[in-house]
Chains A and B, each alone.
Chain A
Amino acid sequence: MSGTAPEPRPQGQGLLDIYDRALPVVYGYLVSRVGDRTTAEELTSEVFLAAVDAVQRPAAPAVDTAWLVGVARHKLVDHWRRRERDQRRLAAVAAQPMTDDDPWDVRLDVLHARDVLEQLGPANRLALTLRYLDGLSIPEMARELGRSRHATEALVVRARAAFRRAYEGEEA
């Protein structure tokens, strides 16, 4: 099996050199956010194959672990957007309140909160993951999602409200 493939070109060798170090970081990032290993493996493969494409382009970016995690975040966004589209075909999304004026001051039980997060729809999960698990600011999220700041903020508010309903409903 080995020996038949020609040598990778030099810029590809850099990717192979960091593979062992970068793989657990990328996989760890994804599995802790999507929650299941099969999906995490699929997305991890997509990340590295995207890196293969990237390093072969004339103006190749510097591919390091941070760059790969950035690609992993794009893949996560794509993944949940695909899921969101699939679900919309099945059922109309129930109207959700847009405002979250009521201040919420609790100390979250983090393990329980993660369970609640996994039960939310893809759009809400995506918004909360970028905002809270990844710790992105609203402007950073807006860039990642390709939306306006205002629209992004509305997404987060809606997702927080959905999370809170689920969290408190579960606790009751």
Chain B
Amino acid sequence: MSDRDPLDALHQPLAPLAPDPAFAARLRHRIETALSGGDDQGGPMTTIETDDAATAVRRPSLSPYLAVADARAAVAWYVDVFAGVAGESVEMPDGRLGHAEIRIGDATLMLADEFPEMGLLAPTSRGGTTVSVVVDVADVDATTEAARAAGATVEREPADMPYGFRAAAVIDPFGHRWLVEAPLAGSAAAPAAAPGRPKPRNAHEITDEHEVYTEPGDIVYVTWQVPDEERTARFLGELLGWTFTGGSVEHGLQVQGPNLMGGLWGKGEGAPIDAKLMYHVADIGAAVAKVRELGGTATEPELMPYGWSADCADDQGMEFWLYTPAEG
């Protein structure tokens, strides 16, 4: 190269540029998941591939992503009025919330502060919203009243609609418009198969991938205790078409195929084979006391990543776990 090279003018020193905050938040989540997943996979011997698609967090095909003028206040408002559960949030260096998530029923509401430099403006800055979000709640009238009390404008009072829902329309203090709805009892829109939907307080997750709704008395989880979980996975996979992904314990595999929360736990050669159930109870402390009173045995409740759990056996020795959600 000669000393004087006109192309030297192309030199571009490092110039930091903040990416889309939603992208930054997603990537951080992926890194955290990847970093914490190192111990949890079945090890290098596993024959069952867990690809990105299988381990990605399950969520509906559409998720609302709102821009609001005060994201922190909005998170508090939506958690309060819609009985949501605040999830992760990402604070930007300038103090704005770049990303926040609120679990409402089986959906995730995402939101962030305004980023005018990226054209992301809240309805209050634009002079109104063009989008309404439909939210299913347990009690339309109660939610509407809670929203009104918390500063929302009720645009349409609760009323029974011909499409089988009771519905109201409210504009929240941040300018977003919500259609608050619940199926009318006995209508075709209230299938018995989805009774858990309006009960977000009972939502809990056994893993990041799966979510179920249960009530005290329900079976929450089935653990098949087997000598070799890989063999069982192959057998059941062939027989029933089930698929599995790495579980949260060593030699654990999570059932992915059927509409069932369950997993395999390889306990080594010669281990007794059984299926161990986990039951949801309202108060694990009281339930443990009850187990003992009935002649069974129970460990002290322990806080696990998925909630409180106690290892029990009944008065004949049949083993089971008790479970109570950590919150709610």
Give chain A's interface residues, CB within 8 Å of chain B: 1-9, 12, 15-16, 19-20, 23-25, 27-29, 31-33, 37, 40-41, 44-45, 48-49, 51-52, 55-56, 69, 103-108, 110, 113-114, 117, 128, 131-135, 138, 156, 160, 163
Contact = CB atoms under 8 A, between A and B. Distances in A.
Interface string B65-90: 00000000000000000000001100
B15 A4 contact: no
B289 interface: no
Contact of B11 (A7, A33, A104, A132): A132
A41 B18 CA distance: 11
B235 interface: no
B12 A32 contact: yes
Nearest to B19: A27
A48 B27 contact: yes
Interface stretch (B29-37, B182-190, B214-222, B251-259): B29-37
29 contacts: A1-B88, A1-B101, A1-B103, A3-B326, A4-B305, A4-B306, A5-B208, A9-B39, A12-B36, A15-B35, A16-B31, A16-B35, A19-B28, A20-B93, A23-B18, A23-B24, A24-B18, A31-B17, A32-B17, A33-B12, A40-B19, A41-B19, A44-B23, A106-B6, A113-B9, A128-B7, A132-B7, A132-B10, A135-B11
B57 A56 contact: no
Instruction: Classify chain B: how many residues form its interface, as a range.
Output: 35 or more
Contacts of B33: 5
B127 interface: no
A105 B4 CA distance: 8
Given A9-B38, A32-B15, A48-B27, A160 B7 contact: yes
A29 B15 CA distance: 7
Interface of B: 1-2, 4, 6-12, 14-20, 23-24, 27-28, 30-36, 38-40, 57, 87-88, 93, 101, 103, 108, 205, 207-208, 248, 305-306, 326
Contacts of A4: 205, 207-208, 305-306
Nearest to A117: B10
Contact of B30 (A6, A49, A55): A49
A169 B247 CA distance: 60
Contacts of B18: 23-24, 27
Contact of A28 (B11, B17, B108): B17
Nearest to B12: A133
A25 B16 contact: yes
Contacts of A1: 57, 87-88, 101, 103, 108, 205, 208
Contacts of B24: 23
Contacts of A19: 28, 31
Contacts of A20: 93
Contacts of A45: 27, 30
Contacts of A108: 6-7, 9-10
